[in-house]
Amino acid sequence: MILTTGSTSSISGTLEHICTLPPPANAETAIRARPYSENGAVPYQEIIRHPALGNAMTNSGAFHATGTGTLIRRQTSPVFEELEISAESILIRRKGKETERRISVRLALFLSTLAAIVTGKPEDIDGSYSQNLEIRPDGWTVLLTTPKNPKEVIALTGCGPVLSTLQVRSPNGQQRQFRFVAP
Amino acid sequence: MTRTLFALLVLVALAAYSATNVTVTSDAGSVFGQSGDTSGSIDIELGRDLIIAVLADDVAQRNDVARQIVTILRQSPLLESTVFGPEPPSAEFQDWIWEKRFQLAPPEEGDFDVSEMARNLDAAKAFFSNIDSMAIGDRLLLDPTGSYRRLIGQLARPDDGLSVVDGVWQSSDDTAAIVHATFSDRPFEAKEVHALTVSLRSVSEARNASVHFLGARTIAAETTLFNYRSAARASLIAAALLIAWLIWSLRSIASVAFVFLPLVIGIGVAFLVVQLMFGYVHVIATGFGGALLGLALDYPIHIIGHSKSARPKAFRLVILGSATTSIAFLAMVGSGVPALVQTGVFVASGLTVAALASVILSAPDTQKIHGIPLGNLVWRLPFKPIIEIVLAIGGLTFVLNTNQEVPITIFAPPSSVSNDITLVAEMLALPSGRYVVAVEGDDLNDLLSNEQELAPILDDAIKDGSLTSYTMLAQVLLSTRPYLPAPDAYLALAEGALRRAGMSVGFATNQLEAYTRSRLSPAIRYEDLLGFPETRAVATRLRVTEDGWREHVSLTLPDGGSVPDFDVNAPFAEIVDLAAPVRQALDDIRHQVTIWLLVGLCAGVGVLALGLGDWRAAGRIFRTSCAMIGVTASFLVATFGTLSIFHIVAMALVVGIGVDYGMFFKDMKDGTGDNPASTSVALCASSTLIAFTVLSFSDVQVLYQIGVTVVVGLFVLLVLTLAQMKETT
C-alpha cells in the first residue's frame, strides 16, 4: 500500500510537494490511479468552496465498494449520511430514514464518474467524456469534460499511480474537492 | 342466365373495389361530433396513457419482469415513453422552476426580513452536508427569501402515493410492480396494440408473473378485436344455419343462390355509396346496416314463392316494401349524427338495390317451399284494433315512465378487460374517473387562492369518511400574491442578511441578479405546463380560456363509493359529473333517432298507402307496427332498464319486416297453406328468427341487443299479423 498525504495542490495549482514518481504515459493510464484505502474503505474529505461561504466547508467519511457493483459513501462528519450509488438510482439513509430515487442526469454523470474512479473501473466512465492530461511538477491532472453537462469540469489529480483528489468545478464558482487521505 | 352472370360480374367488381378503397372506421367523433367535450378519446394525451401492473408474490421477481417489460416497450415504436419508478426532474424543468419561483412559491413581506433571510442562508449553508446540495445548494444560497426552498419542499411531496422498492413503483396493496407508459402520437391500430399486449403477457407468464393493463388504447384494442371475432363467429354460425335452413326449405341450390345474390349485391353497393359520399364507412353503419340488410333476404324469397303469373304483383310489392323501409331509414339523415346519417344511406341504398336485383335477376321457376304455412297458425283476436291501440299507448306510457338514463358505453369491453380495469384501479386506488370538483379563477394565482379555500371543505369530507383523498394544484404550488421589493432595496436587504449570517457580502450582487431575473420573468402560461413531463399531469387537469383558469380537482372516493357523498358550497367550485356530457350526447342521439325514425315511419306508411291504393290497409299495418313497438319497447325497458339506440333502430327493422309481411298477407283470403304468401312469409320469418336468435346469444352487447329486439319484435309482430289475417277473412 502506498501512503499519501494528499500532497497534490488545491485546484489553484499551488505547489505543496514535488512529485518524484514517474508520471503516467497518458490520460487513460492516469485515471487508473488508485486512491488511498484501508480495509477496503477509501477515506475522504470533501472540501466545498462557494462564493457565498467565507470559509470552505468540510465533510468527511469513507467510500466502500460493494460486490454488487454499487458504491457506498458513508459520510460521518458533520452529520451522518449514507449514500448507496447504483447505475440508475441512489439510496439515501439520513436521520433514520431511507429514500431511494432515480438520479438526475447532471448528478448521475458526476456520481457515476466518482464511482468508476473510486472502485478502480475507469472503463465505466461515460463515453462522452473527453480526457486531457497535464503533467506538472507536483503531479498530474486529468480534466474530464462532457457535452452532456458542459458547465461542469471534473479534475483528477495524483502523483504517479496514486490518485489524490477528485474535484468538480461549476461555473458559479462552486468547487467540491474529494481528498483521498489517511484519516 | 345472362342477367345472373352480369350480376355476378357486378358483384366481383364491387368486391374488388371495396377491398381496395373502402375504409371502415370507429371514430368516436362521428357519433359525438367534434366538439371535444367528450373526453376519453384514444387520441388525446390522456387517452395515450397506459398503466401496467405486474403481479408476482416475490418483489424482486416482479421488479425484474417490470424492468424487462420496460426494456421491450422502449424498443417499440408504439410507445413514446415508459417508466417504472419516479423519474428525476430534467435540467430544463429545474431551470424553469428556478426562474418562475416567485410565481410558483411567491414570497411574502416577512420573507424579506433581514433576520429571516439570514436564517435561510444559515439553513442553506448547513444543507451543504447533504448530497442534494450538489444539485440545488447554490440556488438555495442565491435565494435568501426561502421561496425556492419552499417550492422544492412542495414538489418533493409524493404525488401518487405509490411506494418504491428497488427503484420500481409498487401498488398500494403491495402485490404488483407498476409501469407507466405513453403511446406514441400515431394512428390507433387495434391489431398492433393487441400484439404488444400478447407479447408482454407471454414474457410475464414465462417468468411466473401476470400482467394487467389499464389504458384507453388497450381497452379499445381488446374490445374491438373481441367484438370483431365475436361478430364474425356469430355471423358465420347464423349464415351456416340460414343456408342449411334455406336448402332444406327450398331443396334447390340455384334457388338458395338466387336468394343470397341480391342481398350481397345490395351490401356491396351500400358500402360503395357510403364510401363515395363520406370518404369512409363508420363501423356503426356497417353493424346496423348489415343487420338491416337482412331484410333484403326476404325479397327473393317472396318472389320465388309466387307463381310466374303472380310475380308481377310480387315484384310490385317487393319494390313497394323496399321503398317504404328505405324512406323510413333515409329519414335518419335528418338526425345530423354522421354515423347514423351513414346508416340511413347504407340501408336505403342497400335495400333499394337488393329489391331491384331481386326483380331484375332471372328467378328460378316457382319454388315449392317446405315448412309450416303461417295460414295454419291464424287465430282470432276480438277487438283487435282496440287491443293494438291499447298496446301501443300502454307501451309508450310504460316506457316514458320507467326508461332509465342511457348507459355511456356503446361498445362494452369483454369481461377480461373489465376485470383488468377493476383490478388495477383497486391496486392503485385511482381517483374517480367520473366525478371531479371544478374550480375556477381569473388567473393562476386566483385559481390557487380559491383552491386554498376549497381545501378545508375537502379535508372535512375526508374526516367524515366520504372522501379518501384529492389532488389539486394548490397542494404543489403556493398561492399568495408575491411581495417583491425594488432591486435597490433588495440588494441592501441581501447584504444585511449575508453579513448577519457571516457570509461574503459581495455575493449579494449574485443574489440581486438572480432576484431580478425571476422578478421580471414572464407570467406562467398554460403552454409552459404542457412543455414538461413533470407538469403534464397537472396540465391535463387544467383548462385555460379567455375567462380564466379552471382545474378539475380529482377525487379518490372510499371503497364502494362511486358518487361523492358531500357538497361543495363555494361560488368558485362545483362537483362535476364528467360522464354527463357523454350521457347527454347519447341521450340526444337517442331522441334524434327516435324522432327521425318516426318521421320516416309516417312517410313510409304514406308511400305504402299510395302504392297499395288502400289507406285503410296501410293504416292497419301501421297500427300493428305501433302495437309491436309498444310491446317490444316495454319488454326491453323491463329487461335492460333503458332503450339504447341499437334497440330503437332494431325495432325499426322489425317495422320494415312487418310492412312486408302485412302487404303479402293483405290479399290472403283463406289463410291456408296453398297461398304462396303463407309459405314465403313463413320462410322469411323463420330465416330472420334463425339469424337474430344467433345474435341474441352473442357476447357483444350491440349484437345481443339487436338480436333480442328483433326476435321479440318479430314474435309479437307475427302474433298480431296472424290475428289481423283472421280479421280480414
Among the residue ranges B63-77, B589-603, B715-729, the one predicted with the least confidence is: B715-729
Among the residue ranges A29-33, B114-118, B186-190, the one predicted with the least confidence is: B186-190
Same domain, residue pair B449 and B563: yes
Same domain, residue pair B573 and B589: no
Question: pLDDT tens-digit profile of B404-453?
Answer: 766 656 667 778 888 888 888 777 777 887 889 999 998 888 888 899 89
Please indicate whether, in this complex, the C-beta atoms of B135 and A174 are within 8 angstroms of each other.
Answer: no
Last residue of a domain, one of B515, B543, B577: B577
Same domain, residue pair B572 and B588: no
What are B279's three cell numbers? Answer: 370518404
Residue B107 pLDDT > 50:
yes
B129 interface with A at CB cutoff 8 Å:
yes
Give how many domains chain A has, as a whole number.
Answer: 1
The amino acid at residue B69 is I
Contacts of residue A81 in chain B, CB cutoff 8 Å? 129-131
B136 interface with A at CB cutoff 8 Å:
no
For chain B, percent of residues with pLDDT exceeding 70: 87
Residue B99 lies in a domain: yes
Paired strand residues for B79 = B183
Q: At a CB cut-off of 8 Å and minimum separation 6, what does A97 contact?
A: none
Residue B427 lies in a domain: no
Average pLDDT over residues B372-386: 80
Pick from B87, B125, B504: which is nearest to A51 by CB? B504
Q: How far is B134 from chain A (nearest CA, A)?
A: 7
Residue B421 lies in a domain: no
Residue B49 pLDDT > 90:
no
Task: Please give the mean pLDDT across all residues of chain B.
Answer: 83
Please indicate whether, in this complex, the C-beta atoms of A104 and B94 are within 8 angstroms of each other.
Answer: yes
The amino acid at residue B525 is R
Residue B366 pLDDT > 70:
no
Residue B673 pLDDT > 50:
no
pLDDT at B130: 86
Pick from B86, B129, B135: which is nearest to A102 by CB? B86
Q: Which residue has the higher pLDDT, B95 or B376?
A: B95
Paired strand residues for A159 = A162
Last residue of a domain, one of B530, B547, B577: B577
Residues B468, B429: contact at Cβ < 8 Å? yes
Question: pLDDT tens-digit profile of B680-689?
Answer: 788 888 888 8
Question: pLDDT tens-digit profile of B560-570?
Answer: 667 888 888 88
Find, among B581, B490, B474, the residue nearest to B538 by Cα.
Answer: B474
Please indicate whether, in this complex, the C-beta atoms of A170 and B138 are within 8 angstroms of each other.
Answer: yes
pLDDT at A13: 42
Please indicate whether, in this complex, the C-beta atoms of B131 and A79 are within 8 angstroms of each other.
Answer: no
Please indicate whether, in this complex, the C-beta atoms of A104 and B85 are within 8 angstroms of each other.
Answer: no
pLDDT at B139: 94
Same domain, residue pair B620 and B560: no
Please indicate whether, in this complex, the C-beta atoms of B85 and A52 are within 8 angstroms of each other.
Answer: no
Residue B186 lies in a domain: no
pLDDT at B727: 47
Q: Which domain holds residue B397?
A: 2-25+252-364+380-409+582-728
Q: Which domain holds residue A140?
A: 27-179
Residue A19 lies in a domain: no
Pick from B87, B135, B504: which is nearest to A52 by CB? B504
Same domain, residue pair B471 and B335: no
Same domain, residue pair B629 and B689: yes
Residue among B134, B140, B152 with most chain A CBs within 10 A, to mutate: B134
Residues B55, B211: contact at Cβ < 8 Å? yes
Average pLDDT over residues B499-513: 95
Residue B265 lies in a domain: yes
Same domain, residue pair B390 and B460: no
Residue B3 pLDDT > 70:
no
Q: How far is B127 from chain A (nearest CA, A)?
A: 10
Same domain, residue pair B595 and B525: no
pLDDT tens digit at each of 183 positions of chain A: 333 333 343 444 444 578 888 989 999 999 999 999 888 899 999 999 999 998 899 999 999 988 777 899 999 989 899 998 887 778 888 888 887 777 777 788 888 899 999 888 888 888 899 999 999 888 999 999 999 888 889 999 999 999 999 999 988 888 999 999 876
pLDDT tier, B246 (very low <50, low <70, confident <90, very high otherwise) = confident
Q: How far is A18 from chain B (nearest CA, A)?
A: 32
Helix pair angle (B114-126, B133-142), 10° resolution: 160
Q: Give me the phi and psi of A167, to 5 degrees please.
A: -125, 140
Q: How far is A25 from chain B (nearest CA, A)?
A: 33
Q: Which residue has the higher pLDDT, B631 or B587?
A: B631
For chain B, percent of residues with pLDDT exceeding 90: 26
Among the residue ranges A119-123, B186-190, B669-673, the one predicted with the least confidence is: B669-673
Same domain, residue pair B624 and B564: no
Residue B556 pLDDT > 90:
no
Last residue of a domain, one of B537, B559, B577: B577
- C-alpha span between B47 and B183 (Å, rounded): 9
Q: What is the 3-state secondary structure (H, E, C) of B617-653?
A: HHHHHHHHHHHHHHHHHHHHHHHHCCCCHHHHHHHHH
pLDDT at B669: 44
pLDDT tier, B581 (very low <50, low <70, confident <90, very high otherwise) = confident
pLDDT at B621: 87
Q: Which residue has the higher pLDDT, B702 or B29?
A: B702
Find, among B700, B31, B619, B202, the residue nearest to B412 by Cα.
Answer: B700
Residue among A44, A49, A50 with most chain B CBs within 10 A, to mutate: A50
Same domain, residue pair B400 and B257: yes
Please indicate whether, in this complex, the C-beta atoms of B167 and A102 are within 8 angstroms of each other.
Answer: yes
Contacts of residue B532 in chain A, CB cutoff 8 Å? none
Pick from B133, B138, B504: which is nearest to A172 by CB? B138
Contacts of residue B506 in chain A, CB cutoff 8 Å? 51
Q: Which residue has the higher pLDDT, B480 or B553?
A: B553
Please indicate whether, in this complex, the C-beta atoms of B128 and A89 are within 8 angstroms of each other.
Answer: no
Pick from A54, A101, A170: which is nearest to B503 by CB? A54
pLDDT at B25: 64
Contacts of residue B138 in chain A, CB cutoff 8 Å? 50, 170, 172, 174
Same domain, residue pair B568 and B601: no
- C-alpha span between B298 and B309 (Å, rounded): 20
Paired strand residues for B316 = none
The amino acid at residue A20 is T
Q: Give me the phi and psi of B87, to 5 degrees please.
A: -95, 140
Same domain, residue pair B303 and B398: yes
Q: Which residue has the higher pLDDT, B202 or B223?
A: B202
Q: Give the count of beta carbons closer than 10 Å to the beta carbon of residue B442.
A: 13
Q: Which residues numbered 471-500 in B keep a CB inside 8 Å of some CB on A?
A: 498
Pick from B135, B503, B506: which is nearest to A107 by CB? B135
Residue B11 pLDDT > 70:
no
Residue among A44, A80, A83, A89 with most chain B CBs within 10 A, to mutate: A89
* Residue B661 CA: distances (Å) to CA of A81, B165, B315: 88, 70, 14
